[in-house]
């Protein structure tokens, strides 16, 4: 015979599971676009009413009450936050996703967690901007070094050095899609731990960008 305690516990837990709304997936792609481009919003949720609410800030036509599973296209004219809400008898669920609309020119910090090693030793970080997440029209204009130490930036076989607190236009008109690597040499007598602390264990670059044709 089944364990009566286990059956009793399952029966008690079942209403809690049924009464809680769930968002199984919620994506907006691409999340960085140029003016006039569209994004696709996909979602899959479950709740008590059989419906969900898709909101946006600012408000876009086509938002409002939606089925628990669906997909819609929107053309934001400015930076927009999409919000999916699912009501439940005991607990509601909510997710948010931000979309950046690149104007004539904008800037963003890009980078990743730094590691130290190699020969000669350096602190380095790599990050990849996926094609699915960013418009192919977005191009780099100027890259700024925010550190009082030299940086080396590489992408697609090209490498450019930036002096401390300097900037470079060496990647001008280069697509930001792809893998970027940032390196900073470990100074003479400098330990890896000290070098990592000097960059707060992250390496970032301020990237000015715009939308090319």
Cβ count within 10 A of residue 2: 7
Task: Show pLDDT as tens, one digit a residue, over the chain (213 residues).
Answer: 455 555 444 444 444 445 688 999 999 999 999 999 999 999 999 877 788 999 999 999 999 999 999 999 999 999 999 999 998 877 889 999 999 999 878 889 999 999 999 999 999 999 999 999 999 999 999 999 999 999 999 999 999 999 999 999 999 999 999 999 999 999 999 999 999 999 999 999 999 999 986
Cβ atoms of residues 171 and 207 within 8 Å: no
Cβ atoms of residues 47 and 88 within 8 Å: yes
Is 19 strand, coil or helix?
helix
Cβ atoms of residues 123 and 187 within 8 Å: no
Q: Identify which of 109, 33, 114 has the alpha carbon closest to the alpha carbon of residue 75.
A: 33
For the chain, domains (ranges, CATH) are: 4-101 (2.60.40.2470), 106-211 (2.60.120)
d(CA 111, CA 93): 31
d(CA 133, CA 99): 10
Question: Tokens 């060496």 belong to which residue?
Answer: 170
Is 18 strand, coil or helix?
helix
The pLDDT, as a whole number, for residue 128 is 96
The three-point CA angle 87-24-84 to 5° equals 45
Q: DSSP secondary-structure letter at 156? A: T
Model confidence over 153-208: pLDDT tens digits?
Answer: 999 999 999 999 999 999 999 999 999 999 999 999 999 999 999 999 999 999 99
d(CA 79, CA 184): 33
Q: Identify which of 6, 44, 51 has the alpha carbon closest to the alpha carbon of residue 27.
A: 44
Q: Identify which of 108, 125, 118 has the alpha carbon closest to the alpha carbon of residue 199.
A: 125
Residue 8 host element (H or E): helix 4-19
* pTM for this prediction: 0.78
């Amino acid at each position: 015979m089944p364990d009566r305690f286990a059956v009793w516990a399952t029966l008690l837990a079942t209403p809690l599971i049924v009464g809680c709304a769930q968002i199984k997936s919620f994506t907006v792609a691409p999340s960085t676009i140029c003016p006039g481009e569209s994004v696709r919003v996909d979602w899959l949720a479950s709740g008590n009413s059989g419906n969900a609410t898709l909101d946006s800030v600012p408000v876009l036509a086509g938002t409002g009450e939606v089925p628990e599973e669906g997909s819609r296209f929107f053309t934001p004219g400015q930076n927009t936050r999409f919000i999916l809400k699912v009501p439940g008898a005991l607990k509601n669920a909510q997710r948010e996703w931000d979309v950046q609309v690149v104007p004539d020119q904008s800037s963003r910090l890009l980078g990743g967690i730094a590691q130290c090693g190699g020969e000669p030793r350096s602190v380095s970080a790599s990050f990849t901007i996926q094609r699915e997440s960013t418009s192919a029209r977005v191009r780099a204009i100027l890259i700024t070094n925010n550190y009082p130490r030299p940086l080396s930036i590489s992408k697609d076989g090209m490498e450019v050095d930036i002096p401390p607190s300097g900037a470079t236009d060496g990647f001008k008109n280069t697509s930001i899609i792809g893998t970027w690597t940032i390196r900073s040499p470990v100074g003479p007598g400098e330990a890896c731990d000290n070098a990592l602390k000097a960059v707060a264990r992250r390496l970032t670059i301020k990237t000015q960008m715009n939308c090319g044709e």
